């Protein structure tokens, strides 16, 4: 005997029959439209819940003909690092999946070395009508201005890659940056001998504004403090990101200090790997971030020992789906969705996917 309440058996007609209302009334409740008495709405919702009814989203989309516009505000990939290609691929994959449900995704890419381009893209977004925003908050002050504008227009926004947890975002999807740096220090501890010197390298033109680099550094230093590791930690900030500038700065630092391990706080670790290869320093251990072709090249050559990876393509995909679930499906979204922090070596990189 068939189960009368099985989801496959249930449709709008059955709900209307049990509630003793028209199909149009049920449709208004399913699409959260006005014109239904409170008691009738509650009765219909209870029947829907009892029957575990899952509406056909395509049919709902065709019936409502509503369009949802999402804005994506992330850095463009550059000649210095192709990192942002991965989140963009995830975003485009998700956009293709939700397109038939009336979701349109517009991309606004900025230069991560130039905060004025971030502000310019924000102005472009705010001149249009968007229902949700996916953002990589590279610059704190400029992001704060965006958040305030979203607040006045009641626009939900999702952060990926790095978080600003004091801002009322719908969700953050990305790594725990502090723990990521902490993990980096733990790896260093395994290969470091007593009283050896460690060099933290930050490579970024907008150093003071890229809070995610500082959060990683904070976690890195905390590991040594918490575990009483006897090592001297040095730091150099390289604000010109071209290879020649990086090479000149590292040459000066390594002439003054006997460094055994280098920790690079972002995806530009291949630049340091190239330097170690060119200058014949294979004994210096090197670790940094992200599963990029240029980084894998030096990982295979053993000039990079560890890459810490954080699923950037999945971040982009999850970011769009979070906005889709919240806006279109009316679902609750987890405020924090931390990505796994993966450790990649030359022995396991072949099987890894971003």
Residue 319 sits in a domain of what CATH number? 3.40.50.2300
Count of CB atoms situated within 10 Å of the CB of 76: 14
Residues 202 and 290 in one domain: yes
Question: ∠135-138-140 over CA atoms, to 5°?
Answer: 100
Residues 186 and 280 in one domain: yes
Contacts of 336 (CB under 8 A, 6+ apart): 163, 165, 171, 172
Number of domains making up the chain: 3
Does residue 39 come out as left (phi exceeding 0), alpha (psi in the -120 to 50 range) or beta? Answer: alpha
The CATH number linked to 35 is 1.10.260.40
Q: At what angle do helices 23-30 and 12-19 cross, to 10 degrees?
A: 110
Q: What is the pTM of this model?
A: 0.78
Determine, yes or no, domain membership for 47.
yes
Residues 182 and 298 in one domain: yes
**Closest listed residue to residue 350, CA positions, set 278, 299, 316:** 299
Determine, yes or no, domain membership for 12.
yes
Determine, yes or no, domain membership for 63.
no
Determine, yes or no, domain membership for 118.
yes
Residues 203 and 257 in one domain: yes
CA–CA separation, 91 vs 317, rounded Å?
5
**Closest listed residue to residue 300, CA positions, set 245, 225, 247, 350:** 350
Q: What is the pLDDT of residue 6?
A: 40
Residues 94 and 208 in one domain: no
Q: What is the pLDDT of residue 167?
A: 86
Pairing of β 285-289 and β 306-309: parallel
Residues 294 and 319 in one domain: no
Kindly state the tokens that stand for 299: 């990982």
Q: What is the pLDDT of residue 62?
A: 53
CA–CA separation, 24 vs 13, rounded Å?
10
Determine, yes or no, domain membership for 2.
no
Residues 267 and 297 in one domain: yes
Determine, yes or no, domain membership for 62.
no
Q: What is the pLDDT of residue 205?
A: 80
Q: At what angle do helices 269-278 and 243-256 cross, to 10 degrees?
A: 60
Collapsed DSSP state (helix, strand, coil) of residue 354? coil
Mean pLDDT by 10 residues, the chain (354 residues): 42 86 82 82 88 66 75 89 92 92 95 92 96 94 93 95 89 95 95 88 74 87 92 92 95 95 95 97 95 96 96 96 92 94 96 89
Q: What is the pLDDT of residue 64?
A: 59
CA–CA separation, 204 vs 221, rounded Å?
19
Residues 285 and 318 in one domain: no
Determine, yes or no, domain membership for 228.
yes
Count of CB atoms situated within 10 Å of the CB of 321: 19
Q: What is the pLDDT of residue 7?
A: 38
In whole angstroms, what separates CA 242 from the centre of its chain?
A: 25
Residues 194 and 296 in one domain: yes
Residues 128 and 149 in one domain: yes
User: Where does 1-153 show beta strands of DSSP type E?
Assistant: 68-75, 103-110, 132-135
Residues 238 and 282 in one domain: yes
Residues 219 and 243 in one domain: yes
CA–CA separation, 109 vs 73, rounded Å?
6
- Domain range holding 86? 68-174+312-338
Determine, yes or no, domain membership for 135.
yes
């Amino acid at each position: 005997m068939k189960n009368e309440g099985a989801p496959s058996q249930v449709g709008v007609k059955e709900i209307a029959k049990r509630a003793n209302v028209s199909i149009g009334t049920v449709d208004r409740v399913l699409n959260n439209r006005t014109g239904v008495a409170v008691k009738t709405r509650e009765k219909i919702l209870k029947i829907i819940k009892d029957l575990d009814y899952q509406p056909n989203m395509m049919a709902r989309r065709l019936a409502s003909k509503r369009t949802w516009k999402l804005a994506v505000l992330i850095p463009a990939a550059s000649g210095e690092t192709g990192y942002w290609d991965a989140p963009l691929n995830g975003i485009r994959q998700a956009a293709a999946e939700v397109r038939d449900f009336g979701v349109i995704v517009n991309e606004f890419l900025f230069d991560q070395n130039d905060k004025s381009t971030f502000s310019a893209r924000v102005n472009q977004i705010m001149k249009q009508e968007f229902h949700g925003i996916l953002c990589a908050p590279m610059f704190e002050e400029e992001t704060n201005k965006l958040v305030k504008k979203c607040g006045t227009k009641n626009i939900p926004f999702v952060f990926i890659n790095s978080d600003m947890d004091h801002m009322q975002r719908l969700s953050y999807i990305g790594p725990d940056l502090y723990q990521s740096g902490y993990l980096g220090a733990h790896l260093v501890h395994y290969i470091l001998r007593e009283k050896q010197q460690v060099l933290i390298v930050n490579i970024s033109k907008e150093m003071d504004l890229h809070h995610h680099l500082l959060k990683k550094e904070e976690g890195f230093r905390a590991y040594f403090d918490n575990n009483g590791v006897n090592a001297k930690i040095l730091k150099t900030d390289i604000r010109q990101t071209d290879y020649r500038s990086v090479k000149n700065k590292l040459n000066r630092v390594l002439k003054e200090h006997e460094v055994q391990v280098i920790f690079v706080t972002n995806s530009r670790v291949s630049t340091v790997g190239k330097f170690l290869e060119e200058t014949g320093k294979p004994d210096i251990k090197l670790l940094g971030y992200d599963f990029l072709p240029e980084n894998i090249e030096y990982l295979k050559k053993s000039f990079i020992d560890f890459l810490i990876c954080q699923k950037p393509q999945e971040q982009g995909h999850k970011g769009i789906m979070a906005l889709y679930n919240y806006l279109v499906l009316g679902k609750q979204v987890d405020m924090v969705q931390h990505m796994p922090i993966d450790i990649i070596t030359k022995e396991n990189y072949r099987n890894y996917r971003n």
